[in-house]
Structure 1
Amino acid sequence: MLWRMGSLPVPRTRLIGRATELTHVAGLVHRSSRLVTLTGVGGVGKTRLAQAVAEAVQGQFRDGAWFVELSPLRHGALVAHVIAETLPLADQTTRPMIDVVAEYLAERETLLVLDTCEHLADACALAAEVLLRAAPGLRILATSRRPLNLVGEEMVVLDPLPVPEEGDLLGGEEDAVALLAERAAEAVPGFTVTDTNRPELVRLCRRLEGLPLAIELAAARLRELSMTELAEKLEDRFGVLGNDREAVPDADPPWHQALRTAIGWSHQLCAPGERLLWARLSVFAGSFDAETARQVCADEWLPVDKLLGLLDGLVEKSILTWQPTGDGERYGMLDTIREFGSHWLRALGEEDLLRCRHLDYYLALAQRGDSAWLGPDQYAWCGRLAAELDNVRAALEFSLDRPRGQAAMELAGALWFFWHCCGFAREGLHYLERALALDTEPSRARARALWVCSLVLSTLGDGRTAEARATEGADMAKHLGDTQAADLARAMVALAVVISGDTQRAKVLALPLFDGHRCEGGLAYPVLASALFLGHAHTLEQEIEEAVAVLEHLRDDCERYGEVWMRAYAEYLLARAELSRGHNTAAQHRGQAVLEVKQRLNDRLGVAMCLDVIAAATAAAGLGERAARLLGMAQQLWDTLGRPQLGLPDWVAARERCETQARTAIGDRSYEAAYQAGRAVPWEAGMAYARSH
């Protein structure tokens, strides 16, 4: 959902203890320190405390608290992109993303939580320095195993939970014991602390040195062991694993002894198939579902029919987390657990094999989405790729770091629909340009990546570079005999020309591709795109009847096949045509229908465009207060997009006419009050208002 005042995740468990640390860190963040870094060993609870601190202080920040999860990210160049995607920000220009984020935050009072920075410490430090310099109202709370080493950084070292003093086996009020008791009750329903088992709880917590993750891993064993057996067996394992560096092969990071022993013991107590699956699942970034795990991890050593049972076993042992979602069940793995699995995967000699399988799976997924996009399942594909974004990034990074054929260009090109249609144009450009720079030889994959790059550049307003990329792609595709890629590239030339404002030339380029053709054998993007650009050019030149004929043709083709994304753009331009005809009610109804589609596809540019057209229809009908509120809501979004009305003179003029009509209807003072109310309205309420009649 767009535009909440913050994006704090809902914790899976309640915070136990940490009252002193919570008060101390919250005070630093709110009152005295602009950059606070929580450090400590893996598994000590840095992320959970940071979540609690952000929740406690978010009401003190006018523009909210935003949680930026960096653990799945494997390349520092994307830190600013991930921050931007977390914020309600969708800049539609080609400026450096860190500059865009800095400009957005400059006048705001915001808390950013940068979670898990250690593997990207230099990139995080650079981003933090730039943003803090640009935004006086910004505070940053970072979690990292090592400091960011910036001037003014307040470092808070998080220690393990308190445990009873040595010899105090009847203690039990300490936080570590409370955590173990609660996790034991989750593992064994009905478990309670008694005078009989209390000494074993205390002994276990002392042996695990109060480290929360180690305690949670140990508690998961209570499903098959009594507390006494657990304490005794863990004591034995410390004698073996506590001094055995092979417990974590090629150990890096520096493992805390208690955690190393707890993880190593959990690993040894797993069945052989579970250990192998644990290692192989470490190639996933973020979450994954069971079917993806089967596709990437299963083979003769891990039969397909055993995978679901092995996944359930790893969940029971707290190696995996289980995450029900609206689209099905997904699994996740804590960073420390994933690192352990990665070390074992490397020791097994399977790292390259599994990363190649992972890449192949996501390339095939992107290609299926490409083939199916122009059809009835666009919402599902948008949701699927959004859920898999962390893994898509990991696959792209692997294909760029270790080139294998043309996989990087193929994957970045196949994802055109996700970059362009689902709100990830800036990130798409990042990967497309890296892939194109990696392999400059003429090929079908390069020709395709060129037209996709042109599409994204046009979306971001760089018509000149977009035209150059598309022209290169068209020439290359023609030389290679790839007719489809050549048509797509020529359509992108037409789009680039429209964006640049040369409507006459755009019509000349688009008409041969359209040429009255209907997609009887299925929808073809070059035809749909050329129809849209042709209709747009006619609309800009006030050739309304010609525009309506082309756009209704496009709409009917899309409707026949259940396609909603391109149809919505046709309806949007038809709404503008209705405005030109003076049909205000029809324009408003079309705009409202498009608004719902654009919301569901996370197309923030499309939402802003729809709000403008609904506001224009409302103002033309004499409803000045409603029009002013809608303009304020639209401006709330245009502020995050970089270029209001995409800089198109006709759209800017239409917006100015709308404002003038609204001011005339209700007066300047009433207009300003309604406009500011719309600009400040919560997003969900604003969208409901815009869709109402």
Structure 2
Amino acid sequence: MVVNRRAVGNLPAEATTLIGRGAELDRLRHMCERSRMVTVTGPGGLGKTRLALRAAADLTPGFADGAWVVTLSPLEMGASLPYAIAEALLLVNQSIDPMIEVVARYLAERRLLLVWDTCEHLAEACAEVAERLLAAAPGLHILATSRRVLGVPSEEVFLLEPLPVPATADGDADAVALLVERAAAVAPGFAVTEDNRQAVVRICRRLEGLPLAIELAAARLGEWSPQQLATRLGDRFAVLDAGEAGYSADPPWHQGLRTAIGWSHQWCSPAERLLWARASVFAGSFGPAAATRVCADADLPADRIPALLAALTDKSILTWVPTGDGERYRMLDTVREYGAFWLAHLGQEHELRCRHRDHYRALAAEGEAAWFGPDQLAWFDRMSAELDNLRAALEFALTIPDDHCAAELAGVLWFVWYGCGHVQEGRYYLERALAADTGASRARVRALATASLLTTTQGDGEVGRLRAEECLRQAEKLDDARGLQTGQALLLGAAVIRGDQEQATALTRELSGRMPDEITLTYFVYHLSAIAAHIIAGRFEEAVTLLERVRQDCERHGERWLRAYGDVFRAQAELGLGRPLVAQAHAQAALGAKYRMHDNLGVAMALDMLGPAALAVGQARHAAYLLGLSYQVWETVGRQQAGVPAWTATRRDCESRTRQALGEQAYRRAYAAGYEIDLDAGVASAISGPDARSTAPDVR
């Protein structure tokens, strides 16, 4: 959901207790307080992420705008970093400005802590972005984790060491405490005794005090005694397979971690090892259905996948992640790297990347087909959870341009780019796909259509027009009827955004009756563009007539996302007709729906209609409050009033008349109250109105 960025962050709740690290935590907190750029470094498996997240949680009260974690491990390209930061901050960039500039502007006046987790593979990009953001935002602090130093000029480096291990065979240390804590999770009541103390110490020493290695080993203490585990670890170290011994990361892993992971690998069954290797193609998290479709074949039957996932979870190779999209699984980066090494060793890397790409291409097509239906919220949650995998599929598809897959996937994902708030990132992938795949194809027609939609949405109506015209030329050449309809609707949308009322009116009339009755991308673009053209031209009754049709079609399909946009436009039309209470009811209905659907753009547009409605019924103070509240949301969108000149003029007129009604000081106080309020409370008050007892037409 949209949240108030002044009060909260997105730090995850701790799933397990942080054992030891008290001195390190104190040092890291003090370092972060005196320096704006701190990097926790060290080999994999040391617990850099856990330490950084705990430090960030402790430091959060000192940052008025919260602490926000950005996970970089799923990213393959440094150019994706600004988009990942924006996604974490819930920014929706609808402008044509580079995302790094949008993020820099957003952070400029905020006091905020960014936690960048797993930076080593994007070190150069991280250094460039950090330098730009730190220069733009004096209240920004960055805490990074990386296996190597990033090279930012102002960077302070915190070198994390393994946990202390006992100095003597009967000693105690944090490494032992961690082993006992984790072992108790699989063997309730587990404790260090006189009989097992020496074996426990041998385990911790053999694993060199590395937290991840100790946790992997502790998972076995539900079946083996400490003495058995210590013996097996010793054997494993002695007979370390040459292939596994040759595996290393950059920088090299500790021998203890390589031993623990390699030993865990040997302890797995052949089928578990194969699934471990194949599941390494997923970026971020993945669900059981995706694991089945991507990983299963004759060598790994589909009906065995659920049990194998459970077995790998029991062995701590996978972590179970509860989400709004159902159960999902995740691998730690070091564990994923080991699986990827074995996948390449098996000669299956390319095949599995192709399967992964094809699965997400099919998922995107399924999501688009279902988008304008009753399951929109479920699809929003599902595609949001799969963003890392969609990016990985696109990056792989871009390496094979001849099969048109990148253009097809980037094009069909319009509902993710537009509907889920990733407009600029979508344009980034579309431009790359169109540049790599220049041959005529229906996939290119689709990509051109989506590129036109996104560029027009960003306020770049001229480029939107050019892309729509190219879409029409390609569609005509291929006799692509759907592409022709979509291209025509997009020309209308570009005319509206450019402020070309003459062309917009002509296209609205020309295309009337020629658009599909089924709710599709073409239907959506045409109807909202035609409605906007009517409203801008003052044809409010015609707009209402078309809006009623859209409302009926949406009700028939159980559709809510488009219907809520219809309510925004209906509010604007009703204001034009002098019916502010009706306008208020529609805007409140739109606001409630868009807020539930996480649609920042729709939330901001609905709030912009509520301000003039309140002013029209004599509620000037509430109007100023709503103007401040809407500006709070527009800041996360990046382009005020969606770049439409007529809408900008409407807001400015409302601001001017509200100032006149209240006086400057009263206006500023009410405006600031809306701008600074927690967004949950602000939206609730906007929906209920200044007087919750007042009545308004029911538009539900």
Same fold (TM over 0.5): yes
Counterparts in 2 of 1:458 and 1:624: CA distance versus 1, 3 Å: same
Helix, strand or coil at the partner of 1:67: strand
CA distance in 2, matches of 1:219, 1:528: 55
Q: Residue in 2 aligned with 1:209?
A: 208
Give the one of 478, 488, 491 matched to 1:490: 488
The residue type equivalent to 1:137 in the other structure is G
Percent of aligned positions with the same letter in both sequences? 54
Q: Residue in 1 aligned with 2:378?
A: 380
Give the one of 51, 56, 60 matched to 1:54: 56
Q: After superposition, where does 1:123-522 map in structure 2 within 5 Å? A: 123-165=125-167, 168-172=168-172, 174-241=173-240, 244-247=241-244, 250-253=247-250, 254-403=252-401, 405-515=403-513, 519=517, 522=518
CA distance in 1, matches of 2:73, 2:515: 49
The residue type equivalent to 1:610 in the other structure is A
Q: Residue in 2 aligned with 1:40?
A: 42
How far residue 327 of structure 1 moved from its aligned partner, in angstroms, is 2.8
Helix, strand or coil at the partner of 2:158: strand
- Contact 2:411–2:450 (CA<8 Å) still a contact in 1? yes
1:688 aligns with 2:684: yes
CA distance in 2, matches of 1:600, 1:222: 45
Structure 2 segments unaligned to the other structure (5+ residues): 690-700
- Contact 2:516–2:522 (CA<8 Å) still a contact in 1? no
- Contact 1:623–1:662 (CA<8 Å) still a contact in 2? no
The residue type equivalent to 2:107 in the other structure is L
CA distance in 1, matches of 2:585, 2:263: 63
How far residue 113 of structure 1 moved from its aligned partner, in angstroms, is 0.8
Structure 1 segments unaligned to the other structure (5+ residues): none
CA distance in 2, matches of 1:319, 1:14: 19
How far residue 559 of structure 1 moved from its aligned partner, in angstroms, is 1.6
CA distance in 2, matches of 1:524, 1:262: 52
- Contact 1:245–1:251 (CA<8 Å) still a contact in 2? no
Report the more deviating stretch, 546-555 or 177-186: 546-555
1:456-486 CA deviation, whole Å, 9 max, x = no partner? Answer: 0011110010100010001110111001011
The residue type equivalent to 1:651 in the other structure is W
How far residue 248 of structure 1 moved from its aligned partner, in angstroms, is 5.2
Helix, strand or coil at the partner of 1:330: strand
Q: Residue in 1 aligned with 2:619?
A: 623
The residue type equivalent to 2:322 in the other structure is P
Helix, strand or coil at the partner of 2:615: helix
How far residue 245 of structure 1 moved from its aligned partner, in angstroms, is 4.3
Q: Residue in 2 aligned with 1:2?
A: 2
Report the more deviating stretch, 41-50 or 2-11: 2-11
Helix, strand or coil at the partner of 1:421: coil
1:109-149 CA deviation, whole Å, 9 max, x = no partner? Answer: 21111110001111111111111122222111110000011
- Contact 1:169–1:202 (CA<8 Å) still a contact in 2? yes
CA distance in 1, matches of 2:637, 2:395: 27
How far residue 436 of structure 1 moved from its aligned partner, in angstroms, is 0.2
- Contact 1:421–1:601 (CA<8 Å) still a contact in 2? no
Q: Residue in 2 aligned with 1:667?
A: 663
Helix, strand or coil at the partner of 2:114: strand
1:233-262 CA deviation, whole Å, 9 max, x = no partner? Answer: 111111112xx5422555333221000000
Measured on the aligned residues, the alpha-carbon RMSD in Å equals 1.5
- Contact 2:499–2:644 (CA<8 Å) still a contact in 1? yes
Q: Residue in 2 aligned with 1:651?
A: 647
Q: Residue in 2 aligned with 1:593?
A: 589
1:335-373 CA deviation, whole Å, 9 max, x = no partner? Answer: 000000000000000000000000000000011112222
Q: After superposition, where does 1:529-548 map in structure 2 within 5 Å? A: 529-548=525-544
How far residue 524 of structure 1 moved from its aligned partner, in angstroms, is 3.8
The residue type equivalent to 1:66 in the other structure is W
Report the more deviating stretch, 562-571 or 301-310: 562-571
How far residue 649 of structure 1 moved from its aligned partner, in angstroms, is 2.9
Give the one of 22, 28, 31 matched to 1:28: 31
Helix, strand or coil at the partner of 2:321: strand
CA distance in 2, matches of 1:176, 1:213: 11
The residue type equivalent to 1:195 in the other structure is E
How far residue 620 of structure 1 moved from its aligned partner, in angstroms, is 1.3
How far residue 14 of structure 1 moved from its aligned partner, in angstroms, is 1.8
How far residue 545 of structure 1 moved from its aligned partner, in angstroms, is 1.0
How far residue 302 of structure 1 moved from its aligned partner, in angstroms, is 0.5
- Contact 2:567–2:586 (CA<8 Å) still a contact in 1? yes
Number of paired residues?
685
Give the one of 603, 607, 616 matched to 1:607: 603
1:87-126 CA deviation, whole Å, 9 max, x = no partner? Answer: 1422221111111111221222211111100011111111
Give the one of 61, 70, 85 matched to 2:87: 85
How far residue 75 of structure 1 moved from its aligned partner, in angstroms, is 1.2
TM-score normalised by the chain length of structure 2: 0.95
The residue type equivalent to 1:171 in the other structure is G
- Contact 2:325–2:385 (CA<8 Å) still a contact in 1? no
- Contact 1:125–1:148 (CA<8 Å) still a contact in 2? yes
How far residue 529 of structure 1 moved from its aligned partner, in angstroms, is 2.4
Report the more deviating stretch, 333-342 or 533-542: 533-542
Q: Residue in 2 aligned with 1:18?
A: 21
How far residue 516 of structure 1 moved from its aligned partner, in angstroms, is 7.8
1:253-277 CA deviation, whole Å, 9 max, x = no partner? Answer: 3221000000000000000000000
1:499-556 CA deviation, whole Å, 9 max, x = no partner? Answer: 000122112123333328672xx33432342222111111011111111111212221
CA distance in 1, matches of 2:192, 2:213: 19
CA distance in 2, matches of 1:35, 1:581: 55
CA distance in 2, matches of 1:419, 1:100: 17
Helix, strand or coil at the partner of 1:300: coil
CA distance in 1, matches of 2:325, 2:141: 35
- Contact 1:283–1:354 (CA<8 Å) still a contact in 2? yes
- Contact 1:645–1:652 (CA<8 Å) still a contact in 2? yes
Counterparts in 2 of 1:71 and 1:308: CA distance versus 1, 3 Å: same
TM-score normalised by the chain length of structure 1: 0.96
CA distance in 2, matches of 1:15, 1:404: 50
- Contact 2:629–2:674 (CA<8 Å) still a contact in 1? yes
The residue type equivalent to 2:9 in the other structure is G
CA distance in 1, matches of 2:153, 2:514: 64
CA distance in 2, matches of 1:441, 1:470: 17
Counterparts in 2 of 1:109 and 1:542: CA distance versus 1, 3 Å: same
- Contact 1:622–1:661 (CA<8 Å) still a contact in 2? no
Report the more deviating stretch, 655-664 or 598-607: 655-664
Which structure has the higher relative contact order (CA within 8 Å, separation 6+)?
A: 2
Counterparts in 2 of 1:450 and 1:618: CA distance versus 1, 3 Å: same
Report the more deviating stretch, 539-548 or 341-350: 539-548
- Contact 1:623–1:665 (CA<8 Å) still a contact in 2? no
How far residue 636 of structure 1 moved from its aligned partner, in angstroms, is 0.9
- Contact 1:248–1:344 (CA<8 Å) still a contact in 2? no
CA distance in 1, matches of 2:245, 2:361: 32
CA distance in 1, matches of 2:246, 2:579: 72
Q: Residue in 2 aligned with 1:73?
A: 75
